[in-house]
């Protein structure tokens, strides 16, 4: 029997969920500590006695939830599972140090997840502070600040003295208004798991942030890997609560086994409604992940399908593969129990994915598909052998550059689908009459074909790496200077 569909209320505004990111020693923790110290509720409660991964403040009469993450690993896990927990980000850059490697890593995450952000140029109280240098460094990364030729909001601050922090939070709230952050008001509560710990007296302690609906004490709660009942519900201050509203952090006791950081949870008093909602959400997230894979193609991320003989083996496999996310360009887009089937190989072919099988077999139809369509399948009953094989394969995939040309010039007006362009071959060779994809950054914007290829004003059949060429191409979409043409093997 199909459960009765739960009626949704109209979307309503909710407070923003924010994360502070940047290079080590640029003041992320100091900024969080200063914001905590100015929060009345935290002061009256004597601070948080144990870290739950997030806390709530009030500024200018409005609430903001901050995620207190120890680094990028949790976000990598959330990305691997298709969940985005932060609505907004503050990118911290030290005025005395400028852009550093982790600044670039943080910006890469922000842009990949399409998280709106503001910039905090910190440590302006230090003798060697040079705000202009920090601004120029950001420009080299394509981040143009307001008043300096761009539209990214920013403020100079000192997290140590508090100078400018209030104005920075004002910018964050303004960004929240522009983004129109809202929740569905659904009777089914949902959100993201941000940390999991073991409490000797009360069991599994799970920290979550609610994104939609109100999380209530007594409700059934589930993720893809864990289920339970909300026996004890606490707010971020550790005080018992009957319900937690959207955007607020919460502590949940009652999971029968430990959920995974980054998983989406759903909660409802009716278990059938709960399971139906979770299945529907996972289907939606699978489609989102497929879209992310398509957009992320240029970054050479390797999509993976995981298969194992039973749930316990699958969990071991998932945990092991997820530990590699920060070192290898991989992303898990599907994980299931059972033999590797023909449907698995068809899906893998369509998404150019690699199938990783642990303690499982390949059925005959899948084996035939593997051989005829050249589907990459790695199987073993020994976990470290899978890790070694995947590591070697992923590194090979990284090293195999796509044949690419950078657009340096666009000449005249298009004539129908035909365009005259010029560019430099970054990785070749490229051939006359072959097809290409047009990419703007990490976004595919169109497809086309080379009609004529010239070098030094002479027709050529192909062009090698570092050659500058002129081309007549056929393409329906716009082509601009700075775009890349990617040629498929």
Q: Per-residue pLDDT tens for 17-31?
A: 999 988 888 998 899
Q: Which of 393, 425, 458 is the last residue of a domain?
A: 393
Q: Which of 128, 154, 181 is the last residue of a domain?
A: 181
pTM of the entire predicted model: 0.61
Burial of 432 per CB tally in 10 Å (0-12, 13-18, 19+): middle
- Same structural domain, 109 and 223: no
Q: Is residue 140 part of a domain?
A: yes
Q: Is residue 5 part of a domain?
A: no
SS3 assignment, position 418: strand
Neighbours of 403 (CB within 10 A): 19
- Same structural domain, 381 and 449: no
Q: Is residue 289 part of a domain?
A: no
pLDDT at 81: 52
Q: Is the peptide bond before 181 cis (omega within 30 degrees of 0)?
A: no
- Same structural domain, 304 and 385: yes
Q: 337 lies in which domain range? A: 300-393
Q: Which residues contact 106 (CB under 8 A, 6 or more apart)?
A: 21, 22, 23, 72, 89, 91
- Which tens digit of pLDDT belongs to each residue from 121-163? 999 999 999 999 999 999 988 899 999 888 999 999 999 999 9
- Same structural domain, 243 and 226: yes
Cα separation, 278 vs 264, in Å, equals: 8
- Same structural domain, 373 and 441: no
Q: Give the strand pairing for 154-156 and 88-94.
A: unpaired
DSSP structure string for 92-134: EEETTT---HHHHHHHHHHHHTT--EEEEEE-TTSTT--HHHH
Contact 453, 471 (CB under 8 A): yes
- Same structural domain, 331 and 411: no
pLDDT at 441: 63
Q: What is the CATH number of the domain that holds 270?
A: 2.40.30.10
- Count of structural domains within the chain: 4
Q: Which of 446, 441, 453, 458 is nearest to 406 (CA)?
A: 441
Q: Is residue 1 part of a domain?
A: no
- Same structural domain, 91 and 62: yes
- Same structural domain, 129 and 267: no
Please list the residues that pair with 89 across neighbouring strands. 19, 117
Instruction: For residue 379, report the phi and psi dihedrals to the nearest 5 degrees.
Output: -130, 150
pLDDT at 432: 92
pLDDT tens for each residue of the chain, 489 residues long:
233 333 334 468 899 999 998 888 899 889 988 998 877 565 555 544 346 778 899 999 999 999 875 444 455 555 545 457 889 999 999 999 999 988 887 887 788 778 899 999 999 999 999 999 999 999 988 899 999 888 999 999 999 999 999 999 999 999 999 988 988 766 789 998 888 888 888 889 999 999 999 999 999 999 877 889 999 999 988 899 999 999 999 999 999 888 887 788 999 998 888 878 777 766 666 555 555 444 444 345 688 899 998 877 887 888 888 778 766 778 888 888 889 999 899 888 877 789 999 999 999 999 999 988 889 999 999 988 898 889 888 866 655 567 889 898 888 888 889 999 999 998 889 999 999 998 876 567 889 999 999 998 899 999 998 899 999 999 988 898 888 898 876
Q: Is residue 398 part of a domain?
A: no
- Same structural domain, 481 and 464: yes
Q: Which helix (H) or strand (E) holds 422?
A: strand 418-427
Instruction: For residue 230, report the phi and psi dihedrals to the nearest 5 degrees.
Output: -75, 90
Q: Is residue 153 part of a domain?
A: yes
Contact 250, 213 (CB under 8 A): no
- Same structural domain, 20 and 145: yes
Q: What is the CATH number of the domain that holds 145?
A: 3.40.50.300
SS3 assignment, position 317: helix
pLDDT at 374: 86
- Same structural domain, 273 and 320: no
Please list the residues that pair with 238 across neighbouring strands. none
Q: Which of 166, 268, 174, 179 is nearest to 215 (CA)?
A: 268
Q: Is residue 295 part of a domain?
A: no
- Same structural domain, 315 and 456: no
Q: Is residue 209 part of a domain?
A: yes
Q: Which of 280, 314, 333 is the last residue of a domain?
A: 280
Q: What is the CATH number of the domain that holds 345?
A: 3.40.50.10050
pLDDT at 379: 94
């Amino acid at each position: 029997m199909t459960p009765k569909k739960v009626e949704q209320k109209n979307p309503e505004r909710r407070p923003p969920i924010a994360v502070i990111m940047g290079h080590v020693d640029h003041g992320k923790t100091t900024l969080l500590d200063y914001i905590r110290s100015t929060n009345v509720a935290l002061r009256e409660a004597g601070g948080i006695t144990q870290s739950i991964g997030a806390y709530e403040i009030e500024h200018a009469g409005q609430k903001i939830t901050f995620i207190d993450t120890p680094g990028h690993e949790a976000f990598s896990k959330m990305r691997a599972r298709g969940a985005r927990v932060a609505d907004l980000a503050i990118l911290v850059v030290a005025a005395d140090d400028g852009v550093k490697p982790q600044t670039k890593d943080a910006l890469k995450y922000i842009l990949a997840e399409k998280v709106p952000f503001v910039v905090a140029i910190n440590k302006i109280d230090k003798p060697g502070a040079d705000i202009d240098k920090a601004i120029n460094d950001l420009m080299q990364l394509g981040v143009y600040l307001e008043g300096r030729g761009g539209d990214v909001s920013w403020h100079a601050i000192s997290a140590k003295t508090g100078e400018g922090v209030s104005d920075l939070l004002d910018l964050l709230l303004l960004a929240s208004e522009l983004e129109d952050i809202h929740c569905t008001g659904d009777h089914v509560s949902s959100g993201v798991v941000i940390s999991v710990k073991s409490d000797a007296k009360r069991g599994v302690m799970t920290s979550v942030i609610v994104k939609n609906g109100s999380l209530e004490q007594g409700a059934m709660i589930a993720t893809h890997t864990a289920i339970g009942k909300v026996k004890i519900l606490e707010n971020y201050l550790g005080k018992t609560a009957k319900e937690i509203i959207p955007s607020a952090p919460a502590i949940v006791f009652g999971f029968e086994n430990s959920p995974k950081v980054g998983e989406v949870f759903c909660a409802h008093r009716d278990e059938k409604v709960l399971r139906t909602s979770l299945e529907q959400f996972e289907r939606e997230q699978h489609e989102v992940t497929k879209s992310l894979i398509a957009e992320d193609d240029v970054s050479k991320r390797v999509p993976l399908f995981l298969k194992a003989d039973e749930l316990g083996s699958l969990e071991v496999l998932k945990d092991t593969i997820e530990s590699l996310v920060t070192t290898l360009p991989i992303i898990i887009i599907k994980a299931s129990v059972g033999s590797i089937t023909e449907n698995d190989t068809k899906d893998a072919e369509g998404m150019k994915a690699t199938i990783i099988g642990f303690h499982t077999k390949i059925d005959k139809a899948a084996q035939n598909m593997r051989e005829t369509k050249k589907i990459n399948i790695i199987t073993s009953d020994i976990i470290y052998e899978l890790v070694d094989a995947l590591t070697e394969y992923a590194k090979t995939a990284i090293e195999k550059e796509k044949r690419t040309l950078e657009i340096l010039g666009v000449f005249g007006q298009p004539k129908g689908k035909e365009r005259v362009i010029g560019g430099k071959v970054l990785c070749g060779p490229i051939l006359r009459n072959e097809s290409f994809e047009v990419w703007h950054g990490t976004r595919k914007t169109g497809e086309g074909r080379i009609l004529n290829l010239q070098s030094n004003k002479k027709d050529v059949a192909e062009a090698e790496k570092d050659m500058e060429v002129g081309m007549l191409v056929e393409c329906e979409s716009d082509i601009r200077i700075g775009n890349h043409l990617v040629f498929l093997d």
